[in-house]
Amino acid sequence: MTKKMAVGVLAGLLMLGTGLSAPLRAEAPRPEIATSVKAYAGAEGLKVWTLRIGPRTANEALVQIGGIDHDWDMRIQKMQVERVNDSDRYWTPVAGKKFVVLILREGRGEVYLPGEADAHWVSYDADLSGSGNAQHFLTDYLEQR
């Protein structure tokens, strides 16, 4: 080993020991999101949060449903959004088939969960929406994956 190589290796080891080295892998860029979370509330503590992810043309959103006795409680999922007549329909594949989870129309909506026969009703909640932080919501989703 030449003297230059030995000095380079030593300098690299010193930087690793002091935490001054560059990260081994660069963080992936954060996807584009809407500036605010929209939230809806229903009976018995049911809450739904939505956030557009990606460009508007992608028609995708993050959706979190809480306050339910279900496997999906507080899990954030990326869903497709379709405009059908005067409503927005949020869907995700379940057992290989398109499953509509949320239908929103004029500040009101219906939540459907796999394995449950009845819809849960929700309406827009300005206070709950105002307390949401879009960047924190995205971070929670990225860390959950």
> Percentage of the chain surpassing pLDDT 70?
82
The residue among 20, 37, 16, 43 whose CA lies nearest residue 119 is: 43
> Could you give the number of structural domains in the chain?
1
Question: Could you report the average pLDDT of every consecutive run of 10 residues in the chain (145 residues)?
Answer: 51 48 65 97 97 97 97 97 96 97 97 95 97 97 92
Give the per-residue pLDDT at 28.
Answer: 78
Residue 68, domain CATH: 2.40.128
The residue among 17, 77, 19 whose CA lies nearest residue 48 is: 77
The residue among 65, 67, 60, 62 whose CA lies nearest residue 75 is: 65
Give the per-residue pLDDT at 130.
Answer: 96
Owning domain of residue 66: 38-144
128 membership: H or E segment, kind and range: helix 126-130
Q: What is the pLDDT of residues 32-49, one digit of tens each?
A: 999 999 999 999 999 999
Contact 80, 72 (CB under 8 A): no
Asked if residue 31 belongs to a domain, the reply is no
Give the per-residue pLDDT at 77.
Answer: 97
